[in-house]
Amino acid sequence: MFTIAIVGRPNVGKSTLFNRLVGKRLALVDDRPGVTRDRREGVGRIAQLSFRLFDTAGLEDAAVGSLEGRMQQQTERALDEADLALMLIDGRAGVTPLDQYFAGWLRRRNASVLLLANKCEGMAGSGGQAEAWSLGLGEPLGVSAAHGEGMVALHDAILAAMESYAANGGQTDEVASSKLDPDNWEADVEDAVQSLQLAILGRPNAGKSTLVNHLLGEERQITGPEPGLTRDAIGTAWQWKGQPVRLIDTAGLRKQAKITEKLEKLSADDAMRAMEYAQIVVLLVDARTPLERQDLAIARRTLDEGRALIVAANKWDLIDDRQAAMGQLRDRLETSLTQARGVTVIAMSALTGKGVDKLMPAVSKVYERWQVRISTAALNRWLSDMTESHPPPLGKHGRRIRLRYMTQAKTRPPTFVVFTNLADDLPDSYARYLQNGLRDHFNLPGVPLRILLRKQVNPYAKEGQGQNRSNRRSI
């Protein structure tokens, strides 16, 4: 697959061009420099051309080991995998000393480079475009990533690069039909070759990126002691024992009231969006301070969205009394997350790798439970036993509530319909009794369950009479 990496100094429009080429607003865009830190991957398209595309952090002359230095290492890894680099400069600002420095850096790497002068809408960047000849990277193309100008010339230049690559023995298989865009978690799950959508969520500095890197077996995400390093929700295509997995690393989530900066709000929204389109969510908590209010808020939001939940206690190697810590963690879960009793808890250290091997088998089990289908006969036998051992209370006006029939409406999450004579009168306590019974009897821990109460319609009632209205209630 032909691979292209977009490179350049900070704030020249790399992420804007990336979003333009993939056709979606996947990468965060802001006026401040240095928004992008990790490399983001997607499928770029111009007309009939399709290619693998990397968005990278802005190139800066930085010391090894610094945050900027780690960002540059990610850019270097992207270039190592790329067949063509699109180097962007700001056409309005012209060529800067940093542009000159990194043009030389690209030449020393013997990279195949296509030079683009961005922000050239109208005649705004014509001077910078002409000046870019001095970089020694060939003819600069004037484009506007924000307005879509210059895409025809970019198409022709990429096509020429692909033809040259193929002539030298490279493979340029088009990926237009591919539905495994690692960052497109909005794609229908069935269309994604049954790819398991796995999102890692948690507070800042919980170790999410470290965990993702360990699972992938490479330094795919930037890590370090600084909180809030990850800004974008970064999806990566992966396989676990032959199962396609879309592994999504997200920004750390703080309390909404503490988020004041626009960029952090965008990052938090991106993380929530990733969670909404995930199937399984791993809530990564710091074992030293587990299940703070923010952790529980994330867990409840996950369950409310109908996603299956796993709690992973990271930094377990720093815990002295592990038995007591695990007991406290499970007790807190049982009392604070009653809607997902028995949620799976994994103790691990993403840094050392100890316990990480237990995560994916647990994810696989929860995934099976999340899409389980129970026969109608089994459900009604269970319902009969439940109502016999603990009959529903009397409804309003002393009328007896009768639960007549039950069936499963859908999976993901498991959703059930119970037909009754008095849908609105069933107490919440009895509804929880049914939910907990379902979870225990059919072995569905950590999976959100939906029960819909539907009033059974009298087919002989005259139209317009109250008893002919079909009342519905969700539990």
Q: Over 80: is that where the pLDDT of 189 sits?
A: no
Q: Over 50: is that where the pLDDT of 174 sits?
A: no
Q: Over 60: is that where the pLDDT of 176 sits?
A: no
- How far apart CA 431 and CA 460 sit, in angstroms, is 29
Q: Over 80: is that where the pLDDT of 263 sits?
A: no
Please give the mean pLDDT across all residues of the chain. 81
Question: Cα-Cα-Cα-Cα dihedral of 322, 327, 331, 337, to 10°?
Answer: 50
Q: Which residues pair with 245 in a beta bridge?
A: 196, 238
Q: Over 60: is that where the pLDDT of 75 sits?
A: yes
Residue pair 315/236 in contact (Cβ under 8 Å)? The answer is no
pLDDT confidence of residue 178: 32
Question: Cα-Cα-Cα-Cα dihedral of 128, 133, 134, 135, to 10°?
Answer: 100
**Same fold for the pair 3-167 and 190-370:** yes
Residues 278-302 pLDDT 10s: 899 999 999 998 888 889 989 999 9
Residue pair 40/232 in contact (Cβ under 8 Å)? The answer is yes
Report phi then psi at 470, rounded to 5: -90, 100
* Confidence bin at 470 (pLDDT 50/70/90): very low
- Quote the longest CA-to-CA distance of the chain: 89
Q: Over 70: is that where the pLDDT of 407 sits?
A: yes
CATH fold, domain 190-370, is: Rossmann fold (3.40.50)
Residue range 376-474 in CATH 3.30.300.20? yes
Find the range with the poorest average confidence among 197-201, 396-400, 440-444.
396-400
Predicted TM-score (pTM) of the model is 0.68
What is the distance in angstroms between the CA of the first residue and the CA of the last residue of the chain?
Answer: 48
* Confidence bin at 122 (pLDDT 50/70/90): confident
Q: What is the 3-state secondary structure (H, E, C) of the chain?
A: CCEEEEECCCCCCHHHHHHHHHCCCCCCCCCCCCCCCCCEEEEEEECCEEEEEEECCCCCCCCCCCHHHHHHHHHHHHHHHCCEEEEEEECCCCCCHHHHHHHHHHHHCCCCEEEEEECCCCCCCHHHHHHHHHHCCCCCEECECCCCECHHHHHHHHHHHHHHHHHCCCCCCCCCCCCCCCCCCCCCCHHHCCCEEEEEEECCCCCHHHHHHHHHCCCCCCCCCCCCCCCCCEEEEEEECCEEEEEEECCCCCCHHHCCCHHHHHHHHHHHHHHHCCCEEEEEEECCCCCCHHHHHHHHHHHHCCCEEEEEEECHHHCCCHHHHHHHHHHHHHHHCHHHCCCEEEECCCCCCCCHHHHHHHHHHHHHHHCCCCCHHHHHHHHHHHHHHCCCCECHHHCECCEEEEEEEECCCCEEEEEECCHHHCCHHHHHHHHHHHHHHCCCCCCCCEEEEEECCCCCCCCCCHHHCCCEEEC
Q: Over 50: is that where the pLDDT of 418 sits?
A: yes
CA 128-132-133 angle, 5° bins? 135
Residues 375-405 pLDDT 10s: 999 999 999 999 999 999 888 878 888 999 9
Mean pLDDT in residue range 322-338: 89
Q: Over 60: is that where the pLDDT of 64 sits?
A: no
Q: Which CATH superfamily is domain 3-167 in?
A: P-loop containing nucleotide triphosphate hydrolases (3.40.50.300)
* Confidence bin at 76 (pLDDT 50/70/90): confident
Mean pLDDT in residue range 182-206: 64
Residues 341-368 pLDDT 10s: 889 999 999 999 999 999 999 999 999 9
Q: Over 90: is that where the pLDDT of 373 sits?
A: yes
Find the range with the poorest average confidence among 62-66, 317-321, 454-458.
62-66
Residue spans per domain, the chain: 3-167, 190-370, 376-474
Higher pLDDT, 107 or 168: 107
Higher pLDDT, 101 or 465: 101
Q: Over 90: is that where the pLDDT of 73 sits?
A: no
* Confidence bin at 256 (pLDDT 50/70/90): low
Q: Over 50: is that where the pLDDT of 8 sits?
A: yes
Higher pLDDT, 41 or 177: 41
Contacts of 397 (CB under 8 A, 6+ apart): none
CB-side neighbour CA atoms (13 Å) of 108: 7
Residues 17-28 pLDDT 10s: 988 898 876 654
Q: Which residues pair with 155 in a beta bridge?
A: none
Q: Over 80: is that where the pLDDT of 443 sits?
A: yes
Contacts of 242 (CB under 8 A, 6+ apart): none
